[in-house]
Amino acid sequence: MLEEELTSENMIKYASYSIIVSLFLLIFYEFEFGIMVLATGISLGIFGFSTKKHSNKLFIFLLKIILMIFIGCSIYFSFEISSYMRLKAPIQKICGSVKNINISKNRHTPNTFELVNKRKVVTFLYYQEDKELFSSPNICIEYAFDDRWESYPRVFKIESESIH
Protein backbone atom coordinates (compact mmCIF):
# COMPACT_ATOMS: atom_id res chain seq x y z
CA MET A 1 0.00 0.00 0.00
CA LEU A 2 0.94 3.61 -0.31
CA GLU A 3 2.66 5.02 2.73
CA GLU A 4 1.87 8.59 1.71
CA GLU A 5 -1.59 10.09 1.96
CA LEU A 6 -3.01 11.68 -1.16
CA THR A 7 -2.52 15.28 -0.01
CA SER A 8 -2.76 18.33 -2.22
CA GLU A 9 1.03 18.56 -2.50
CA ASN A 10 1.27 14.90 -3.53
CA MET A 11 -1.54 15.37 -6.06
CA ILE A 12 0.34 18.27 -7.64
CA LYS A 13 3.58 16.25 -7.64
CA TYR A 14 1.90 13.20 -9.24
CA ALA A 15 0.14 15.48 -11.73
CA SER A 16 3.46 16.89 -12.91
CA TYR A 17 4.91 13.37 -13.21
CA SER A 18 1.96 12.11 -15.22
CA ILE A 19 2.01 15.12 -17.55
CA ILE A 20 5.71 14.53 -18.25
CA VAL A 21 5.06 10.81 -18.86
CA SER A 22 2.16 11.66 -21.18
CA LEU A 23 4.40 13.92 -23.25
CA PHE A 24 6.85 11.05 -23.73
CA LEU A 25 3.99 8.73 -24.69
CA LEU A 26 2.69 11.25 -27.22
CA ILE A 27 6.19 11.71 -28.67
CA PHE A 28 6.45 7.94 -29.23
CA TYR A 29 2.99 7.76 -30.89
CA GLU A 30 1.22 5.98 -28.03
CA PHE A 31 -1.79 8.28 -28.33
CA GLU A 32 -4.34 6.18 -26.41
CA PHE A 33 -2.25 5.96 -23.26
CA GLY A 34 -0.79 9.43 -23.75
CA ILE A 35 -4.24 11.03 -23.77
CA MET A 36 -5.32 8.91 -20.82
CA VAL A 37 -2.29 9.85 -18.70
CA LEU A 38 -2.53 13.52 -19.75
CA ALA A 39 -6.20 13.73 -18.69
CA THR A 40 -5.35 12.03 -15.41
CA GLY A 41 -2.48 14.45 -14.78
CA ILE A 42 -4.58 17.51 -15.56
CA SER A 43 -7.41 16.34 -13.30
CA LEU A 44 -4.93 15.52 -10.50
CA GLY A 45 -3.43 19.00 -10.84
CA ILE A 46 -6.82 20.73 -10.76
CA PHE A 47 -7.91 18.79 -7.70
CA GLY A 48 -4.55 19.28 -6.03
CA PHE A 49 -4.78 23.05 -6.36
CA SER A 50 -8.45 23.11 -5.27
CA THR A 51 -7.81 21.00 -2.15
CA LYS A 52 -4.91 23.28 -1.26
CA LYS A 53 -7.38 26.17 -0.87
CA HIS A 54 -10.00 24.21 1.12
CA SER A 55 -9.42 22.36 4.38
CA ASN A 56 -12.89 20.81 4.85
CA LYS A 57 -12.56 17.00 5.17
CA LEU A 58 -15.91 16.29 3.48
CA PHE A 59 -15.00 18.56 0.56
CA ILE A 60 -11.65 16.82 0.13
CA PHE A 61 -13.35 13.39 0.30
CA LEU A 62 -15.85 14.42 -2.39
CA LEU A 63 -13.04 15.76 -4.55
CA LYS A 64 -11.22 12.42 -4.28
CA ILE A 65 -14.40 10.60 -5.38
CA ILE A 66 -14.77 12.99 -8.33
CA LEU A 67 -11.08 12.47 -9.14
CA MET A 68 -11.61 8.69 -9.37
CA ILE A 69 -14.60 9.27 -11.68
CA PHE A 70 -12.47 11.58 -13.85
CA ILE A 71 -9.73 8.96 -14.08
CA GLY A 72 -12.26 6.35 -15.19
CA CYS A 73 -13.77 8.75 -17.73
CA SER A 74 -10.34 9.66 -19.07
CA ILE A 75 -9.61 5.98 -19.71
CA TYR A 76 -12.95 5.50 -21.46
CA PHE A 77 -12.75 8.66 -23.57
CA SER A 78 -9.14 8.09 -24.61
CA PHE A 79 -10.14 4.77 -26.17
CA GLU A 80 -13.25 6.34 -27.72
CA ILE A 81 -11.23 9.17 -29.28
CA SER A 82 -8.62 6.81 -30.69
CA SER A 83 -11.34 4.47 -32.03
CA TYR A 84 -13.01 7.45 -33.73
CA MET A 85 -9.71 8.54 -35.25
CA ARG A 86 -9.04 5.03 -36.56
CA LEU A 87 -12.40 5.00 -38.30
CA LYS A 88 -11.58 8.32 -39.99
CA ALA A 89 -8.71 6.70 -41.90
CA PRO A 90 -9.45 6.31 -45.62
CA ILE A 91 -10.55 2.87 -46.80
CA GLN A 92 -8.14 1.34 -49.29
CA LYS A 93 -8.17 -1.84 -51.33
CA ILE A 94 -5.22 -4.00 -52.25
CA CYS A 95 -5.17 -7.18 -54.30
CA GLY A 96 -2.23 -9.52 -54.47
CA SER A 97 -0.71 -12.74 -53.25
CA VAL A 98 -0.07 -13.78 -49.67
CA LYS A 99 3.58 -14.08 -48.67
CA ASN A 100 5.49 -14.52 -45.41
CA ILE A 101 2.88 -15.87 -43.02
CA ASN A 102 4.56 -15.47 -39.62
CA ILE A 103 3.04 -17.58 -36.85
CA SER A 104 4.58 -16.35 -33.61
CA LYS A 105 5.33 -18.68 -30.74
CA ASN A 106 5.53 -15.67 -28.42
CA ARG A 107 2.18 -14.41 -27.16
CA HIS A 108 3.40 -10.78 -27.21
CA THR A 109 4.24 -10.85 -30.93
CA PRO A 110 1.22 -10.96 -33.24
CA ASN A 111 0.77 -13.38 -36.14
CA THR A 112 1.16 -11.51 -39.43
CA PHE A 113 1.20 -12.00 -43.18
CA GLU A 114 2.17 -9.81 -46.11
CA LEU A 115 -0.03 -9.10 -49.10
CA VAL A 116 2.18 -8.36 -52.09
CA ASN A 117 1.15 -6.78 -55.38
CA LYS A 118 3.18 -5.08 -58.10
CA ARG A 119 3.36 -1.70 -56.36
CA LYS A 120 3.46 -2.29 -52.62
CA VAL A 121 3.61 -4.70 -49.71
CA VAL A 122 1.21 -4.37 -46.76
CA THR A 123 1.51 -6.32 -43.50
CA PHE A 124 -1.74 -7.50 -41.88
CA LEU A 125 -2.60 -9.40 -38.72
CA TYR A 126 -3.16 -13.11 -39.38
CA TYR A 127 -6.10 -14.87 -37.77
CA GLN A 128 -6.53 -18.64 -37.92
CA GLU A 129 -10.19 -18.25 -38.96
CA ASP A 130 -9.15 -16.72 -42.30
CA LYS A 131 -6.77 -19.47 -43.41
CA GLU A 132 -9.17 -20.95 -46.01
CA LEU A 133 -9.12 -17.63 -47.87
CA PHE A 134 -5.35 -17.81 -48.15
CA SER A 135 -5.54 -21.01 -50.18
CA SER A 136 -6.56 -18.83 -53.14
CA PRO A 137 -3.59 -17.65 -55.23
CA ASN A 138 -4.73 -14.01 -55.07
CA ILE A 139 -6.94 -12.19 -52.58
CA CYS A 140 -8.29 -8.66 -52.18
CA ILE A 141 -8.48 -6.86 -48.84
CA GLU A 142 -10.35 -3.66 -48.00
CA TYR A 143 -8.66 -1.96 -45.08
CA ALA A 144 -8.11 1.32 -43.27
CA PHE A 145 -4.78 2.32 -41.80
CA ASP A 146 -3.49 5.37 -39.97
CA ASP A 147 -0.05 4.69 -38.53
CA ARG A 148 -0.48 7.39 -35.88
CA TRP A 149 -3.16 5.34 -34.13
CA GLU A 150 -2.41 1.69 -34.81
CA SER A 151 0.38 -0.67 -35.76
CA TYR A 152 -1.51 -2.79 -38.29
CA PRO A 153 -4.33 -2.03 -40.74
CA ARG A 154 -7.94 -2.61 -39.71
CA VAL A 155 -9.44 -5.12 -42.17
CA PHE A 156 -13.03 -4.68 -43.32
CA LYS A 157 -13.35 -7.29 -46.05
CA ILE A 158 -11.28 -10.22 -47.36
CA GLU A 159 -12.27 -11.99 -50.57
CA SER A 160 -10.76 -14.07 -53.34
CA GLU A 161 -9.68 -12.06 -56.33
CA SER A 162 -11.86 -12.93 -59.29
CA ILE A 163 -10.04 -13.23 -62.60
CA HIS A 164 -12.01 -11.85 -65.54
- The string of DSSP codes covering 87-113 is HTSPEEEEEEEEEEEE--SSTTS--EE
Domain that holds residue 61: 8-88
Average pLDDT, the chain: 77
Do residue 63 and residue 118 come from a single domain? no
Residues 2, 39: Cα–Cα separation, whole Å: 22
Tally of domains within the chain: 2
pLDDT beyond 60 at 1: no
Percent of the chain past pLDDT 90, that is, above it, reads 0
Residues 88, 66: Cα–Cα separation, whole Å: 32
Confidence band (pLDDT; 50, 70, 90) for 164? very low
3-state secondary structure of 60: helix
Partner residues linked to 98 by β-bridges? 115
Domain stop point among 52, 73, 88: 88
pLDDT beyond 60 at 96: yes
Residues 15, 42: Cα–Cα separation, whole Å: 6
Do residue 60 and residue 131 come from a single domain? no
